[in-house]
């Protein structure tokens, strides 16, 4: 992989001023400003087409359906996720969905039998998620994410707009949303849910590392259940997982 592009740091006052502005805007208006004004032609969204992905995808489709959507196909996804992606792409009229995956050389070197997940989840995430995404986002100056503060401890204090160490901006328009907000938006706009949600999968990733959430369980307790892992690495600034 070629060396990463290092972008200049944000100008003085840019991030605090924009965060102050975005705090008073709806998620839709945050997206509109980011897509049409702040980062026009240089912004995309990374989407897992998971349990709540339809919310941001619906908002973006109403602003600019040609906004690039990066879909990370790890090779370990549920079939339901792939079919859901196809359904949403057609339903919302998204015209630039880019499916990316792990490099064959990385798989041959580190996961030739396809079972790395069973002994090294961090290593599996690194070759199937972190490295492919790093290649795919190289040309973007800003990325939209669906992260919410309530999801994990690491996300509890994140800003609506951030800048990573390589200078790329990260926009989190749903940062302040709660579960009820997500549910209300989907119901209000009559949007289709991921088919696994009704079976108790509340946060959906790769098939081997995703399980149903038991009654009373935490929202993300079905991800890497039984371990202290709660991030795959694609949203952590830096090379580590």
Q: How many structural domains compose the chain?
A: 1
Range of the domain at 167: 14-193
C-alpha distance from residue 66 to each of 3, 35, 38, 96 (Å): 28, 11, 17, 6
Mark whether 124 is an active-site residue. Answer: no
Does 198 reside within a domain?
Answer: no
The percentage of residues in the chain with a pLDDT greater than 90, rounded to a whole number, is 65
| pLDDT tens profile 184-234 | 999 999 999 999 998 888 888 899 889 888 776 666 676 776 676 655 555
Q: Residue 23: give its domain's CATH number.
A: 3.40.50.620
Does 167 reside within a domain?
Answer: yes
pLDDT band at 238 (very low <50, low <70, confident <90, very high): very low
Does 141 reside within a domain?
Answer: yes
Q: What is the CA radius of gyration of the chain?
A: 17
Set 124, 125, 209, 232: catalytic member: 232
Does 56 reside within a domain?
Answer: yes
Per-residue pLDDT, averaged over 14-29, amounts to 95
Longest dimension (CA), the chain: 50
Does 9 reside within a domain?
Answer: no
| pLDDT tens profile 29-70 | 999 999 999 999 999 999 989 888 999 999 999 999 999 999
Does 164 reside within a domain?
Answer: yes
| pLDDT tens profile 154-188 | 778 889 999 988 899 999 999 999 989 999 999 99
Does 132 reside within a domain?
Answer: yes
Does 109 reside within a domain?
Answer: yes
Q: Label the pairing between strands 169-171 and 161-163.
A: antiparallel
> Would the pLDDT of 152 be above 80?
no
> Would the pLDDT of 139 be above 60?
yes
Is 44:69 a contact under the CB 8 Å cutoff? yes
Is 120:131 a contact under the CB 8 Å cutoff? no
| H-type alpha helices, 151-238 | 179-188
Tokens 């990066």, residue located:
70
């Amino acid at each position: 992989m070629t060396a990463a592009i290092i972008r200049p740091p944000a100008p003085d006052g840019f991030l605090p001023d924009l965060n102050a502005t975005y705090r008073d805007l709806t998620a839709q208006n945050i997206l509109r400003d980011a897509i049409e004004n702040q980062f026009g032609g240089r912004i995309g969204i990374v989407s897992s087409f998971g349990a709540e992905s339809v919310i941001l995808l619906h908002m973006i489709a109403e602003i600019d359906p040609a906004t690039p959507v990066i879909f990370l196909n790890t090779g370990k996804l549920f079939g339901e996720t792939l079919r859901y992606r196809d359904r949403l792409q057609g339903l919302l009229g998204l015209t630039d969905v880019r499916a990316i995956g792990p490099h064959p050389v990385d798989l041959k070197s580190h996961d030739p039998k396809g079972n790395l997940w069973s002994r090294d989840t961090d290593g599996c995430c690194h070759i199937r998620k972190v490295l492919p995404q790093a290649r795919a986002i190289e040309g973007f100056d800003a990325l939209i994410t669906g992260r919410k503060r309530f999801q994990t401890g690491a996300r509890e204090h994140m800003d609506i707009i951030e800048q990573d160490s390589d200078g790329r901006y990260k926009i989190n328009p749903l940062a302040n949303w709660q579960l009820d907000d997500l549910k209300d938006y989907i119901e209000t706009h009559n949007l289709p849910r991921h088919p696994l949600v009704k079976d108790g999968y509340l946060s959906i990733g790769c098939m081997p590392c995703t399980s149903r959430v038991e009654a009373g369980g935490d929202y993300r307790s079905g991800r890497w259940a039984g371990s202290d892992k709660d991030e795959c690495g694609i949203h952590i600034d830096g090379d580590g997982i």
